[in-house]
Amino acid sequence: MNDKTKLILNKLHSFYIINIFGWLLFIIADTVITMLWMKINYTFVAYLINALQWSTGFIVTLLIRYFYKRIYKSSKSILFVLISVILLSICGALLLFVFSHLVYYCFAKITFTELINKSFVSTNIVFRMTQLFPIMLAWSMLYFGIKLWFDFIQEKERTQKAEYLAQTARLQLLRYQINPHFLFNSFSSLRALIRSNQELAIDMVGKIAEFYRYSLLMKNNITVPLISEIEAIKNYTEIEKIRFAENIEFIYDIDKKAESFLIPPFLIHPLIDNAIKYGMKTSDLPLRIYLSVKLINNDLFIEVKNSGFLVKSETELADSTKTGLQNIKERLKLVYPNRSKFSIFESEKHVTIKITIFENIINDTVKSHNSR
């Protein structure tokens, strides 16, 4: 069964439930008003006949709905719809008048001629129409109101789905920008190592394989557990330690409580890569890179700090791919709209980048996206 068929069946099911329930409430209300306000003591049979008479309203509204569906789909002007509603409400009231009296005739001990002479006279028809027309008009307005509400909900769901798909496509695009960047750096390091130490080069190939295994496994995920990102980072930094030997150090401070927190894949990687790339140009050796992750009151705090200085000149930035930091900012806005903060600053011969993701409830939202 396709989605369109399911939608039609759901609408049909909802209409019948609401219509039946609405007429039952109306019959109960009419009975209570007759007993308490009008103070008429009918017998059980009389109340049953009254209920059956009003039940014909359900049949009448089914007939009216047939025309309303076509009017609704035709997308005519508001004036056309209003005129149609008034005319069909009048027709519905007349049908209700006729059907209810036919039900009465089936139980009353009168002839058909007596029924016509007594009930189907102009004065009685006009009087009853002043009662039945407002009822049918109210039903018509409720029908269009509920239908518009259902359509609004469906349109909202379609819009949210479209936004989600667009967001996913955008995130994938950003991911594809990052992966070639890491691939280029990894093979540059491997090329340099092959010439000097083949055994370490073999070990480095294994680390690269693990690193890209993570990339492939997480390619369809908007978010991943933070611990998966940390493990991939450690594989990557091992590659760089093989390359730079004693000239680089990595220090980790990872809060155990934060390991299951969901973050976009490759959110921290560009920060580490950036720290290595520019830290090697500005820092005294060995270059020290610190990665700290804390979870405090459901807010995630990520800090990457390296020894050295901020690279500001155009000459020093000439070999940059210019995708790293801007890429991170864009993905943070997409996954955590108005719920994240990005900052970079220099102090005491260190460059620090901080990312804050507020409220873990946002994590639950992106987690549900991953399961779709």
Cβ density class 14-38: b for 16+ within 10 Å, e for less? ebeeebeebbeebbeeeeeebeeee
Local confidence band at 104 (pLDDT 50, 70, 90 cut-offs) = confident
- Residue labelled with tokens 């007993």: 35
Q: Are residues 271 and 306 in contact, defined by beta-carbon separation less than 8 angstroms?
A: no
Percent of the chain with pLDDT over 90: 12
Q: Are residues 306 and 283 in contact, defined by beta-carbon separation less than 8 angstroms?
A: yes
At 220, which helix (H) or strand (E)?
none
Tens digits of per-residue pLDDT, 281-292? Answer: 888 889 999 999
pLDDT surpassing 70 at residue 324: no
Phi, psi of 222 (to 5 degrees): -75, -35
Q: Higher pLDDT residue, 243 or 309?
A: 309
Tens digits of per-residue pLDDT, 123-181? Answer: 888 888 888 899 889 888 888 888 778 777 877 776 666 465 445 545 554 454 455 55
Return the pLDDT at 54.
85
Task: Work out the angle between the directed axes of helices 226-244 and 269-282 (0-180°, nearest 10).
Answer: 30
Local confidence band at 209 (pLDDT 50, 70, 90 cut-offs) = confident
Cβ neighbours of residue 277 closer than 8 Å, sequence gap 6 or more? 185, 320
SS3 of 302, please? strand
Torsion 100-103-104-110 (CA) sign: positive
Local confidence band at 183 (pLDDT 50, 70, 90 cut-offs) = low
Q: Are residues 327 and 178 in contact, defined by beta-carbon separation less than 8 angstroms?
A: yes
Q: Are residues 272 and 328 in contact, defined by beta-carbon separation less than 8 angstroms?
A: no
Beta strands in 184-247 (DSSP E): 224-225
Tens digits of per-residue pLDDT, 8-23? Answer: 555 556 777 888 888 8
Q: Where does residue 245 fall: left (phi above 0), alpha (psi -120 to 50 degrees), or beta otherwise? A: left
- Residue labelled with tokens 């900012």: 329
pLDDT surpassing 60 at residue 117: yes
pLDDT surpassing 90 at residue 368: no
Q: Higher pLDDT residue, 269 or 323?
A: 269
Tens digits of per-residue pLDDT, 16-55? Answer: 788 888 888 888 887 777 666 655 566 677 778 778 888 8
Return the pLDDT at 300.
92
At 318, which helix (H) or strand (E)?
none
Task: Work out the angle between the directed axes of helices 198-217 and 226-244 (0-180°, nearest 10).
Answer: 160
Determine the Cα–Cα distance for residues 112 and 109; give it in Å rounded to an integer. Answer: 10
Return the pLDDT at 158.
67
Return the pLDDT at 2.
46
- Residue labelled with tokens 């009017």: 71
pLDDT surpassing 80 at residue 314: no
What pTM was estimated for this model as a whole?
A: 0.49
Maximum average pLDDT range among 201-205, 210-214, 218-222: 201-205
Return the pLDDT at 306.
92
pLDDT surpassing 70 at residue 366: no
pLDDT surpassing 90 at residue 355: yes
Mean of pLDDT over the chain:
77
Phi, psi of 321 (to 5 degrees): -75, -10
Least confident segment among 183-187, 197-201, 289-293, 296-300: 183-187
Structural domains of the chain sorted by starting position, each given as residue range(s) with its CATH number in brackets: 3-120 (no CATH), 158-370 (3.30.565.10)
Q: Are residues 351 and 275 in contact, defined by beta-carbon separation less than 8 angstroms?
A: yes
Return the pLDDT at 166.
47
Local confidence band at 218 (pLDDT 50, 70, 90 cut-offs) = low
Q: What is the mean pLDDT of residues 312-336?
A: 64
Local confidence band at 76 (pLDDT 50, 70, 90 cut-offs) = low
Return the pLDDT at 371.
43
pLDDT surpassing 60 at residue 320: no
